[in-house]
Amino acid sequence: MSLDTPNTLPALTDIPEIGPEDMAVIRRLLEERIGFHLCRYKDKCVMRRINIRIRATNSDTPTAYCRLLEHDGREMTQLYKALTIHVSHFFRNPSVFDMLRDSVLPELLAVRAGTGSEAVFWSVGCSTGEEPYALAIILREYFSDLIKRIPVRIIATDINAEILDAARRGLYVVERVAEVPPLLVDRYFAREGGKLRLAAEIRDMVTFREEEIFSSGFDRKCDLIMCRNVMIYFERPWQELLLKGFARSLSEGGFLVLGKSETMIGEARRYFAPVSPVERIYRALPAAGQQQGG
């Protein structure tokens, strides 16, 4: 059975539905081999992704795909990659970054300048680095004097090590950079064989770490957390757990930025006040830091 042969793919509808027994096998293999917990993710999305891999490997049935997965490490890597969707680009939803630049960061940095302490930013589910790097570009471009005086730390985490290697390299196809204002492209990117390499001065501002969100413990104290287009893939109880974890991690008055299709839910609403519901920017209330557990 060959891998990734898109020309001979059967239509998605030709593949029988994945039954509970096959799902149990896939779940077990992902947990045993790479410690990935499929049960936290929304069923519909997971099924769609697995079906894509069944089709890409020309497996006749989900059971045949399970047999392949059992023995083929490369397919395990492919499936893992398909399940941890990595779509991203620089300044995704640009109005969010405008608001960060114009109101959130000036306030946040003024507070840190007053206390003289480090400003900590955390990009959760950072994929190939576009989000934390966009933040670094804004800090370098618009707050250069302030960040000479205030120590700034940008931590970017993701579950997928391979994706993080790509993030560290900072080499992007032009489409990923399309929403960066031209002036900033000229200043911070260099052409390299048809792609764009991000300047070392920006790359050096971000520390990438392999980290599973729920295993992170939420012990890191942060002033701003960006977790965009990650929560949406999780079942509701896990979304709520995530939000409560962020409440625990944020310093009093710290900011949380969610993706455009994500929102504050359940008990977590008690720990955040909306700053801009449209941009999905929230602020940790005083009780938030007393959250227990992750």
Ligand X SMILES: C[S@@+](CC[C@H](N)C(=O)[O-])C[C@H]1O[C@@H](n2cnc3c(N)ncnc32)[C@H](O)[C@@H]1O
User: Residue with the closest Cβ to ligand X?
Assistant: 125
Indicate the burial class of 247 (C-beta count within 10 angstroms; 0-12, 13-18, 19 or more). Answer: buried
CB 26 within 8 A of CB 66: yes
- Which of 230, 231, 250, 288 binds ligand X (CB under 6 A)? It is 230
> Could you tell me which stretch among 23-31, 81-89, 107-115, 264-272 binds ligand X (CB under 6 A)?
81-89
Query: Would you count residue 175 as binding ligand X (CB under 6 A)?
Result: no
The H-assigned helical ranges of the chain are 20-34, 43-56, 62-71, 73-83, 94-99, 105-115, 130-142, 144-149, 161-169, 182-188, 200-203, 236-249
Closest CA to 257 of 175, 135, 150: 135
Stretch that binds ligand X, among 65-73, 82-90, 239-247, 285-293 (CB under 6 A): 82-90
Is residue 228 within the footprint of ligand X (CB under 6 A)?
A: yes
CB of 139 to ligand X, least distance (A): 17
Cβ closer to ligand X: 245 or 259? 259
Read off the tokens for 15. 């593949």
Figure out which of the listed residues 72, 141, 179, 212 binds ligand X, where binding follows CB under 6 A.
Answer: 212
Q: Is the dihedral of CA 161, 263, 41, 49 positive or negative?
A: negative
Stretch of residues binding ligand X (CB under 6 A), selected from 3-11, 85-93, 136-144, 188-196: 85-93
Sole window of 4-12, 84-92, 179-187, 283-291 interacting with ligand X (rule: CB under 6 A)? 84-92
**CB-wise, 70 or 98, nearer to ligand X?**
98
Judged by beta carbon, residue 60 or residue 210, the one nearer ligand X is 210
Helix axes 62-71, 73-83, angle to 10 degrees: 120
Of positions 22, 75, 131, 262, contacts ligand X by CB under 6 A: 131
